[in-house]
Amino acid sequence: MEKRSVIDQEKKTFTTMDIYLGAYIVMHGIEADFTQNGQKIILTFPITDELYKTMADFNSNKLVPVVDYITVLKTLKARMFAIRGRSSQRLAQ
């Protein structure tokens, strides 16, 4: 089974393919970096105390403004599709 989230203590980063968790983290002001691995897009966040708190809040089902969350989720999806689209165009050339 493939790991969807990984904490890299050496690089001090947290990576995930979980777009729902990623959207929650971004919604709380922590910027994501995007990496492509084949057709998969991986979200990477710097490890901070705020990141750990935000992930704990997500896992405890803390309430969020739904429209704001959905907006961030759609924005992340659009960025991911754009990244995949650019790589597909390069392969076709």
What tokens appear for 32 in the block? 């994501």
Residue 76, number of CB atoms within 10 A of its CB: 21
Q: Is the pLDDT of residue 92 over 60?
A: no
Contact 33, 43 (CB under 8 A): yes
Q: What is the mean pLDDT of the segment spanning 44-63?
A: 96
List the chain domain ranges: 5-92
Distance CA(29)–CA(33), nearest Å, equals 13
Strand partners, 33: 44
Tokens of 8: 């890299």
pLDDT of 78 strictly over 90:
yes
What is the rounded average pLDDT of the residues 25-46? Answer: 94
CA distance 30 to 63: 18
